[in-house]
Amino acid sequence: MVLDDLSAIQAIERAAFSAPWPTNAYRTELETNKLAHYLVVRVGEEIAGFAGLWLMVDEAHVTTFAIAPAWRRNHLAERLLVALLDVALDRRATEATLEVRLSNLPARRLYEKFGFRPVGLRPRYYTDNNEDALIMTTEPLRSPEMVARLAARRAALEAAPDPVKLAVPGTDTVRGR
Ligand SMILES: CC(C)(COP(=O)(O)OP(=O)(O)OC[C@H]1O[C@@H](n2cnc3c(N)ncnc32)[C@H](O)[C@@H]1OP(=O)(O)O)[C@@H](O)C(=O)NCCC(=O)NCCS
């Protein structure tokens, strides 16, 4: 993610979250937070989603994760999560952790697919509706289980159709599904 991406990021942020981060939050993250790493997923030229993490000592903490509504259910979140975990591994993180709304089943299923497991609750963590956060953490990223799981996800994505080819204008596109 770079500063030029921020207007597209804001549009996705507002569409994806009931309590979006304020406009300047991503700018501040990119400009000042040395612990932060933010990625975008593009389909052709279009930004279809983004994610971020903070590297705190040996832990990678996922701070945000969203796919634009028009691009969902095309396994773009999986591609993005593989890339994010690659950043974590590259920076020698030993595990990854995150908070997710208890009611957010799509996100929970996504994270479970990548080996995140519930380890606790943060009561009333989300101030817009006082919802609890579920804390989810991976097995050690270099454990045989996680290495095998990531390799399997990566192989499945490599074998899947290319989202760019699915989105040729004027054909039966995946957008807006
Ligand atoms: C959660 C989110 C990122 C998923 O993005 P996506 O690109 O549609 O997800 P993918 O197509 O890569 O799906 C991967 C897996 O996630 C799970 N999943 C995704 N959407 C789902 C849904 N609506 N219902 C159930 N499971 C779902 C499935 O396990 C899916 O694998 P499958 O297709 O083999 O069943 C997207 O719905 C989103 O941006 N939501 C709003 C923001 C948000 O909640 N972010 C997470 C904050 S912690």
Longest dimension (CA), the chain: 48
**pLDDT tens digit sequence for 158-167:** 999 887 766 6
**pLDDT tens digit sequence for 127-159:** 999 999 999 999 999 999 999 999 999 999 999
CA pair distance 19, 112, nearest whole angstrom: 24
Q: For residue 174, is it within any domain?
A: no
**Which ligand 1 atom is the nearest neighbour of the CA of 73?**
11
Run of H or E including 150 = helix 144-159
Q: For residue 58, is it within any domain?
A: yes
Q: For residue 133, is it within any domain?
A: yes
173 in the Ramachandran plot: left (φ > 0), alpha (ψ -120 to 50) or beta?
Answer: beta
Q: Ligand 1 center to residue 17 CA distance, Å?
A: 14
Q: For residue 170, is it within any domain?
A: no
**Total count of domains within the chain:** 1
Q: Which structural domain, as residue segments, surrounds residue 16?
A: 3-161
CATH number of the domain that residue 115 is part of: 3.40.630.30
Number of C-alpha atoms within 13 angstroms, CB side, residue 8? 18
pLDDT above 90 (res 177) = no
Query: Can you give the pLDDT at residue 161?
Result: 84
